Amino acid sequence: MGNRTISVIAAAAVGFAAGILLAPKSGKETREDIKNKALEAKDYAGEKAEKVKAAAKEAGATLKEGASHVGDEAVGMAKSARSSATRVAGDVADEAAKLGSEAKTRAGRVTDEAKRTAGRVQKDAEKHLR
């Protein structure tokens, strides 16, 4: 409840009390007026309590629904990330296999060239040492 509502209720209560106490009525009539006003206040409070209860229930349902949507989004995001990571890992593995194969081929070429070069160096050395 806001300060304004509390001020209005307090002013009404003070006005009511002053009216009851200053009114030229008998004790029986005054007690009857107090009883009636108390019942009216009780009914009013009950109506407001029901409205607050309904609002709280609706707010709870809204929060629950919102939380459910957030949870669904989080699960979807995790699945998407997992799928992407799996795909990327597969792509990296494929690329690594290709690079490994290329490295093996090039290493073979280097080895062959090194053998040819070693053979030429040996021939040149033999030629000059005779």
Res. 5: pLDDT tops 80: no
pTM score over 0.85: no
pLDDT at 1: 58
Q: Token pair of 12, please?
A: 């009404």
Cα separation of the two ends of the chain:
114
Res. 98: pLDDT tops 80: yes
- Condensed to tens digits (0 to 9), the pLDDT of residues 6-18 reads 777 777 777 777 7
Mean pLDDT of the 86-95 span: 85
Separation in Å, CA 106 to CA 94, 98, 118, 119: 18, 12, 18, 20
- Comparing 1-5, 44-48, 59-63, which segment has the lowest mean pLDDT? 1-5
